[in-house]
Amino acid sequence: MEKILIGGKLSVSPVCLGAMNFGTTTSKENAYAVLDAFVDAGGNFIDTSNNYAHWAGTGDESETLLGEWMKERGNRDKLIIATKVGFDRHGKGAGLKKEQIEYWIDESLRKLQTDSVDLYYAHTDDADTPAEEAIETFNGLVKKGKVRVIGASNFDVWRLQDANNYALANGLQPYQVNQQRFTVLGTRGDAVPKYTFNEFTSRERLRFLAAKNIPLVAYSCLAKGGYEDPSRLPADLLTGKRYDAVKEIAAARGISASAVVVAFLTGLRDQPGMPVVIPLFASSRVDHFMENLRGADVKLSTEEMQQLLS
C-alpha cells in the first residue's frame, strides 16, 4: 500500500483505521483480527481518542486495547497513531484549556504504552478557550517530544484559520491535519449537527484545505454502513443520483459500494482544486473491513469520478 506524507513528517497509508469501538462493542478478539489484517495489508495509520467509546464504557477502552496490541505485536515503531483531546467523557473532560490538554496527553500515553503520539488532534473546538492558549499548549507538547504533529477536528474553517495564523505569526506549528465528517453524499441544508462544530464538509472547506495544503481525514465516510443497507443511512444525508451512481459503479466493478466510496475519496487528491483526503473507517469483522479496504487499490475513471462529483 502506497504512503502519503502529511504534516511534513508522517508517512501514512491512504486510509486510516478507526479504533473507536475497539474494546467496547467490538471485542478484543475481533479488534485484534482487524488490526492485524490492516497492518498485513500495508496499513499503518490508526485513529483513536481519549474518550472512545465512553457511551459504551468508560472512554479508556480504545486507547488501552491499542496499547496492549502494540506491546504484544512489538510494532509501535511501524505505526502512525493519532489520538485526540477535548470532547466529553461522561459529562466531564470537555475543553482545550492548558491543564486539560496536558493532563490528557499523559493519560493517553500511559494507556497507549508509548512515549509519544504521532498526531494529536483537538477533538473539537472550544469556544470558551482562546485559540492561542490551545495551540501554544499543543506546541509545548511538541517541544517536549510527546507529540509530533498537531491537528484539528470539528472546527469551523474560520476558527481553524485564525488559530493557524496565530501559530505561523509566532513561530509555532499550526494545525496540519483536519478531521471532519465527509462522504460522497451531500447533507440536507436544514440538517443541524449533533455537536456544535461537527459540520459536514462543504465544498468551501475542500477548497480551503486544498489551498492551505491541509489533508482531510474523512470520518463517517461510509455512512454507518448505509451504502450497503439504505436503512442505516443517517437521516441528514441526501440520496438520489450520487447514491445510485455508487451502486452502479460497484456492480460494474464487482466490489462493494463502500469500496467505491473509499476509491472515490482516495482519488480526490488527483482532482483539480481538491485536498488529499484520507478515508477513516472501521468494522468489527475482518471480511467486511478487507472488502471495503479494496477501494484503496481501485482507481476510478475520470467519468466515474465526475459521476460522483456532479
pLDDT in tens, 210-241: 999 999 999 999 999 999 999 999 999 999 99
Report how many domains make up the chain: 1
Task: Decide if 154 contacts 125 (C-beta within 8 A).
Answer: yes
Sorting pLDDT into bands at 50, 70 and 90, what band is 195? confident
Percent of the chain whose predicted confidence (pLDDT) is above 70: 100
- Residue 92 is predicted with a pLDDT of 86
**Residues 103-137 pLDDT 10s:** 999 999 999 999 999 999 999 999 999 999 999 99
* 128 CB-side CA count, 13 A: 6
What secondary structure letter does DSSP report for 47? E
Told to judge if 52 belongs to the known catalytic residues of this protein, a careful annotator would answer yes
Question: Does residue 310 or residue 207 have the better pLDDT?
Answer: 207
Helix axes 157-169, 203-212, angle to 10 degrees: 20
Mean pLDDT of the chain: 97
pLDDT digits (tens, 9 = 90+) for 290-299: 999 999 999 9
Give the count of beta carbons closer than 10 Å to the beta carbon of residue 207.
14
Selected catalytic residue, list 52, 175, 219, 243: 52
> What CATH number is attached to the domain comprising 241?
3.20.20.100
Q: How confident is the model at residue 149 (pLDDT cuts 50, 70, 90)?
A: very high
Tell me which residue range forms the domain holding 300: 4-309
Better-scored residue on pLDDT, 310 or 237? 237
Query: What pLDDT, in 10s, does the model give residues 55-99?
Result: 999 999 999 999 999 999 999 999 999 999 999 999 888 999 999
Cα atoms in the 13 Å half-sphere on the side-chain side of 231 = 0
Residues 275, 255: Cα–Cα separation, whole Å:
25
Any idea which residue has 489533508 for its cell? 215
C-beta separation of 77 from 114 below 8 A: no
- At residue 189 the predicted structure's pLDDT band, cuts being 50, 70 and 90, is confident
Total Cβ atoms within 10 A of residue 92: 10
Tell me, what's the pLDDT at 8?
96
Q: How confident is the model at residue 174 (pLDDT cuts 50, 70, 90)?
A: very high
Give me 64's grid cell. Answer: 488501552
